Structure formats: C-alpha cells, structure tokens
Structure 1
Amino acid sequence: MIDVSEVITDPDFAQAYVVHRRSDSWAAGRTLSSEAPIKMVGVITVADAKTLNQLPEGDRVTGLMCFYATKELFTTRDQGTSDQIEWRGERYRVKQVFPYGDYGYYKAIGERMAGD
C-alpha cells in the first residue's frame, strides 16, 4: 500500500492546528473530566463552507472542514467526548473520522462549534 503521510505533513500543503482531547475518569463516586492539547500538522480543506441551521431561537451558521492527520483523531468514545480541533481561532468538533491508517493518514470532518 502507498504511504501518503509525507504529503499530509509537507510544509507546502500542511498547517498547524491543536487537537483538544477530553477524557473522563471515575474517582470517589464522581466523573472527572480533563482536556489535553495535542499539537498536530496536516492538510486542511473545506468540506462545506457554510451550513445554515434554522432553529426556533434563530438561524445559526456553521461550516464543515476536513482535517488530515498522521495521528488518529476520535469521535465520541468510551473515555470521553469527540476531539475538538482549534484552527485559526475557531473550534471544530469532530463529527466523522475516515480511518485511512493503512495509507498513513486519518481524515476527520469537523463542524465549527461557534455559530454566527
């Protein structure tokens, strides 16, 4: 199989971003949450520039971005919630992950968390 991880981290295409990974643990009868920032570099592309959610309290504009990484990204799992990716001052919640690990990379689709 072809390993394309070199393209994912190539400085001509890649950008830096931070993955905020939350995890939960159980201690003294309570759930404790913690968040760890993970610095990553990868290609970022537009998946859907604008999505309009029409809610009773008003319209909310979000957007979808594709984040490519050489390390695995996660949606909701047993030990915590979906990864959040910080890029250009915005946070995106990972909604879907395509596990292309056999080819040296992972593709995640993230939705912008703050709506206009």
Structure 2
Amino acid sequence: MLNVSEVITDPDFAQTFIVHRKSNEWIAGRPEETETIITMLGVITVADAKTLEQLPEGDRATGMMSFYATVSINTTNEEGTSDQIEWRGDRYRVKKVFPYGDYGYWKAVAERMAGD
C-alpha cells in the first residue's frame, strides 16, 4: 500500500492546527469532562463553500473544511464528544472522519462553529 504520510507533513503543504479533545469520566456518579489540547500538523483544504443558514433570528454563514493528519482525529464516541479544531482563529467541530490509516493519514471534515 502507498503511504502518503510524507505529503501530509511536508512543509510545502502542511500547516499547524490545534485539536481540542474532550473526554468524559464518571466520578462519584457524575460525568466529569476534561479537555486535552493537541497540536497537529497536516494539510487543510476547503470541503464546502460558505453555507448560508437562514434562521428566524438572522442569517448565519458557516463552512466546511477538510483536515488531513497522520494521527487520528475523533468524532463523538464512547470516550467523548467530537474533536474541535482551532485554525486561523475559528473553531470547527468534526462531523465525519475517513480513517485512511492504512495509507498513513486520517481525513476529518469539520464545520465552522461560529457564524458570521
């Protein structure tokens, strides 16, 4: 199999981004949430043009980005909620992960959390 991880971390293509990973643990019968901050390096591309949601309280512009990394990025699972990715001052919530680990990378599609 072809391992493309060298392209994902190549300085000509890669950028750094921050992953906010939240996990849950039951302590004294109550869920306790902790957040781990992970700095990752990978390729970032546009997944979807700006999307306009027309809501009763006003219009909200969001968009989707694709994040490629050589380590796993998570969606909601039994250990915690979906990762949130911080890049260029915006936060994106991971919606879908394509586990291409056999080829040396993971692709995550994430939606911008704050609207214009």
TM-score, length-normalised on structure 1?
0.98
How far, CA to CA, are the matches of 1:51 and 1:31 in structure 2? 34
Tell me the equivalent position of 1:59: 59
Tell me the equivalent position of 1:71: 71
SS of 1:74's equivalent?
coil
SS of 2:102's equivalent?
helix
Question: How far off is 1:49 after superposition?
Answer: 2.4
Tell me the equivalent position of 2:92: 92
Tell me the equivalent position of 1:36: 36
Of all paired residues, the percent bearing the same amino acid is: 72
Tell me the equivalent position of 1:46: 46
Tell me the equivalent position of 1:24: 24
Unmatched tracts of structure 2, length 5 or more: none
1:106 counterpart letter in structure 2: W
Tell me the equivalent position of 1:112: 112
Unmatched tracts of structure 1, length 5 or more: none
Q: Which structure 1 residue ranges, 4+ long, deviate > 6 Å from structure 2?
A: none
TM-score, length-normalised on structure 2?
0.98
How far, CA to CA, are the matches of 2:31 and 2:57 in structure 1? 32
Residues 7-28 of structure 1 show CA distances to partners (whole Å, capped at 9, x for unaligned) of 0000000000010000000001
How far, CA to CA, are the matches of 1:77 and 1:54 in structure 2? 30
SS of 2:6's equivalent?
helix
SS of 2:74's equivalent?
coil
1:72 counterpart letter in structure 2: S
SS of 2:13's equivalent?
coil
Q: Calculate the aligned-residue CA RMSD, in Å.
A: 0.6
SS of 1:102's equivalent?
helix
SS of 1:43's equivalent?
strand
